């Protein structure tokens, strides 16, 4: 009897420890989410210009807008005449304002694109694409000229923006950018933009994704922008391949670059993990969020911190959903 009681008592202790460990694990996720939001808010208040814009958008997208609008109305007062950055200000306000106010901010962005000699055009058309605003229906002639422009970034972002004209346009745009990305003779800037646009354009069909993933995996080790190509393949993958070896291989190859002290690479990886990452990826993201292994340039480190914080929030959301 005494021996049985000892066994029973030990079982209770182990069960209690197990429950306590589970509770601590759940609390740690909550604490990590709080730290991520606090990190984004700190960057929002302490950093400047585009780093500030990125932190503001991450707060909006993750459902923690807080005082973003208040902060950016003050930014508008201070910098409404500052070329390029004012596009970022309007971009943030367009995403957090009521529909009438948002329409006014979008109109200012469109006007900047229509100013063919202005210094804001490229930023404006990129922002229009990000806000899913197509200039084609109302401004066909200006849009056609931009599509034919010798300024490759202007042409590329205009192709992206007109993808939001209708569903046929969206399909044509995906085809256009996939062709640019797969063309080894294409300018590396164009291929980089194509990779960025594709990863924001939804899933590809199986044949197109196979072509993209095979190209990415076959790239030479020293290929410029290789991380962008892996990211494009990761974020355009059809649902049915996500349990397969090719998809896992692409994710693994992307993570191989985690030790690089490079802002663009780290932000690309964080963007990929925000969609495809899991709890196993939280340690590297947490390290970046806490600036444990800094690049050494304050603004770049802050941009990486905010990208990592957003990825952590997205992963924690998925963990919470899966635990129910």
Q: How much is the pLDDT for 202?
A: 85
- Rounded to whole angstroms, how far apart are CA atoms 305 and 312? 10
C-alpha radius of gyration, the chain, whole number: 23
| Per-residue pLDDT tens over the stretch 209-252 | 999 999 999 988 877 788 999 999 999 999 999 999 999 999 99
Q: What are phi and psi of 254, to 5 degrees?
A: -65, -45
Going from the C-alpha of 220 to that of each of 112, 214, 216, 226, 263, the distances in angstroms are 40, 12, 9, 9, 21
Two structure tokens written together for 182: 């797969």
pLDDT above 70 for 155: yes
* Average pLDDT over the chain, rounded to an integer: 89
Percent of the chain with pLDDT over 70: 91
Give CA 183 to chain center in angstroms. Answer: 24
Axis-axis angle for helices 2-46, 49-61 (nearest 10): 140
Task: Mention every residue, 6+ apart, whose C-beta is less than 8 A from residue 18.
Answer: none
Helices vs strands, H then E, count in the chain: 16, 0
| Per-residue pLDDT tens over the stretch 17-74 | 344 344 434 458 889 999 999 999 999 999 999 999 999 999 999 999 999 999 999 9
Going from the C-alpha of 140 to that of each of 36, 105, 169, 175, 187, the distances in angstroms are 43, 21, 14, 21, 27
Q: Are 118 and 112 in contact (CB under 8 A)?
A: yes
- Rounded to whole angstroms, how far apart are CA atoms 123 and 106? 13
């Amino acid at each position: 009897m005494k021996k049985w009681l000892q066994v029973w008592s030990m079982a209770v202790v182990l069960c209690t420890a197990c429950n306590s460990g589970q509770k601590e694990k759940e609390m740690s996720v909550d604490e990590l989410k709080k730290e991520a939001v606090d990190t984004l808010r700190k960057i929002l208040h302490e950093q400047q210009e585009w780093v500030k814009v990125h932190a503001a958008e991450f707060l909006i997208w993750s459902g923690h807008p807080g005082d973003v609008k208040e902060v950016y109305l003050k930014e508008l007062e201070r910098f409404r005449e500052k070329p390029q950055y004012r596009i970022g200000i309007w971009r943030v306000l367009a995403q957090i304002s009521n529909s009438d106010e948002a329409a006014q901010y979008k109109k200012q962005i469109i006007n900047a694109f229509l100013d063919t000699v202005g210094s804001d055009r490229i930023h404006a058309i990129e922002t229009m694409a990000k806000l899913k605003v197509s200039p084609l229906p109302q401004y066909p002639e200006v849009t056609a000229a931009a599509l034919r422009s010798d300024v490759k970034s202007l042409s590329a972002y205009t192709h992206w923006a007109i993808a939001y004209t209708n569903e046929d346009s969206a399909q044509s745009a995906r085809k256009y950018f996939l062709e640019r990305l797969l063309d080894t003779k294409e300018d590396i800037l164009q291929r980089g933009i194509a990779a960025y646009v594709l990863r924001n354009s939804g899933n590809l069909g199986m044949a197109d994704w196979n072509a993209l993933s095979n190209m990415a995996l076959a790239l030479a080790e020293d290929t410029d922008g290789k991380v962008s190509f892996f990211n494009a393949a990761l974020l355009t993958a059809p649902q049915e391949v996500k349990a397969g070896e090719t998809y896992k291989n692409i994710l693994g190859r992307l993570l191989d670059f985690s030790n690089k002290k490079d802002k663009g690479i780290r932000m690309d990886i964080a963007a990929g993990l925000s969609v495809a990452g899991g709890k196993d990826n939280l340690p590297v993201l947490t390290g970046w969020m806490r600036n444990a292994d800094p690049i050494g340039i304050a603004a770049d480190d802050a941009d990486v911190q905010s990208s990592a914080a957003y990825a952590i929030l997205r992963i924690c959301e998925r963990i919470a959903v899966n635990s129910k």
